C-alpha cells in the first residue's frame, strides 16, 4: 500500500478561507501532502479584519493532537496562531510525548495582515522560551522578529545577523522581508544545522492580496520537509511556492480588503 507524506497543522480557523487552518490545508494539499488539523480557535474574520476570537480549551486541543498522532501520525507539523501562554505550554507538552517528531515549523503569528493582534502580550516570552526550542524552523516576518528580539531591524543588511540571533536556541530561521520598503523581497534563510545563510530574492508585486501569506509559506515549508527535502531545499521550495501563489493571486478579486493568494496556482 502507498503512504501519504503527512502534515499536521495546529492553527486557528479563517472563515474567509485565505489564512489560518484553511490556508494551511489548501497549501499542504497543493504541495502533494495529506493534511490533518488541530483547531485552536474559531476566528471571526474576513479580508477586512478580525472581529473576534473564540478559543478552544487547551485540553481539547491536546485531545485533537493526540487523536491525530496516535492514529494517522504525521511526518511534519506546522504551528500557527497560539493565542495564550497556556495553549503554548499545552502544545509543547503534547509534542514532547512524541519525541520522534522533529520536523516542526512554527509561524510565530502575532498580528494579522489587517493589523489586528492575535497573540496575548504575556505569551510572547512563552512562545520564545518554551516552544521555539522544540521546533526545527521558525518563519517570522520583520515585526514578529523585532518583538522576539526586543529591538528593531533597520533594513536588509541587518537581517542575516537578526536571523542568527533568533536561532540562539538551535532553531533554523526563515526571516521574511515583505514588510521592508524595497523594490525586491529578499528573504533570509539561516540553516542553523549547517550554519549557512541563504538569500532568497523575488520581485515585489503591487497587490492587496497578501492575506495568509505567512500561513501559506510555513505550510509549504512543512510540506517540503514531509516530502523528505533537506532544510535548505524545503526553504527554497516554500519560497518558490509562495512567490507563485502571490503572483497568480494578484490577478483575482475576492473581498474588500486583503484578498488571498492563489493556493492552487500550480494546478489551475
Report, as residue numbers or ranges, the catalytic residues.
176, 210, 212-215
Q: The cell 534563510 sits on which residue?
A: 189
> Is 75 in a helix, a strand, or coil?
coil
Query: Is residue 46 within 8 Å of 16, Cβ to Cβ?
Result: yes
SS3 81: coil
Say which residues have a Cβ less than 8 Å from residue 157's Cβ, sequence separation at least 6: none
Phi then psi dihedrals of residue 48, to 5 deg: -90, -30
Four-residue CA torsion sign, 66, 68, 70, 75: negative
The CA distance from 244 to 224, in Å, is: 16
CA distance 28 to 47: 21
CA distances for 222 relative to 97, 179, 211, angstroms: 20, 23, 19
Among 15, 16, 8, 4, residue whose Cα is nearest residue 219: 8
Please check whether residue 196 is in contact with residue 3, taking contact to mean a CB–CB distance below 8 angstroms: no
* 251 class by beta-carbon count within 10 Å (0-12 exposed, 13-18 middle, 19+ buried): exposed
Amino acid at each position: 500500500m502507498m503512504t501519504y507524506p503527512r502534515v499536521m497543522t495546529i492553527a486557528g480557523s479563517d472563515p474567509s478561507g485565505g489564512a489560518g487552518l484553511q490556508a494551511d490545508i489548501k497549501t499542504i494539499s497543493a504541495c502533494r501532502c495529506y493534511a490533518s488539523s488541530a483547531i485552536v480557535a474559531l476566528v471571526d474574520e474576513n479580508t477586512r479584519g478580525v472581529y473576534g476570537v473564540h478559543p478552544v480549551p487547551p485540553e481539547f486541543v491536546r485531545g485533537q493532537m493526540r487523536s491525530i498522532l496516535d492514529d494517522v501520525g504525521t511526518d511534519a507539523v506546522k504551528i500557527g496562531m497560539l493565542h495564550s501562554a497556556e495553549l503554548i505550554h499545552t502544545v509543547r507538552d503534547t509534542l514532547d510525548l512524541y519525541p520522534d517528531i522533529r520536523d516542526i515549523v512554527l509561524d510565530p503569528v502575532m498580528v494579522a495582515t489587517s493589523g489586528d493582534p492575535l497573540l496575548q502580550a504575556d505569551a510572547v516570552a512563552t512562545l520564545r522560551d518554551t516552544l521555539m526550542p522544540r521546533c526545527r524552523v521558525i518563519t517570522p516576518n520583520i515585526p514578529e522578529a523585532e518583538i522576539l528580539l526586543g529591538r528593531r531591524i533597520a533594513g536588509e543588511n541587518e537581517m542575516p545577523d537578526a536571523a542568527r540571533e533568533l536561532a540562539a536556541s538551535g532553531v533554523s530561521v526563515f526571516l521574511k522581508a515583505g514588510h521592508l520598503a524595497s523594490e525586491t523581497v529578499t528573504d533570509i534563510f539561516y540553516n542553523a544545522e549547517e550554519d549557512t545563510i541563504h538569500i532568497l530574492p523575488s520581485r515585489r508585486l503591487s497587490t492587496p492580496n497578501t492575506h495568509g501569506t505567512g500561513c501559506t509559506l510555513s505550510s509549504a515549508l512543512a510540506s517540503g520537509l514531509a516530502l523528505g527535502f533537506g532544510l535548505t531545499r524545503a526553504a527554497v521550495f516554500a519560497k518558490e511556492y509562495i512567490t507563485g501563489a502571490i503572483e497568480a493571486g494578484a490577478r483575482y478579486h475576492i473581498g474588500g480588503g486583503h484578498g488571498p493568494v492563489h493556493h492552487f496556482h500550480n494546478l489551475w
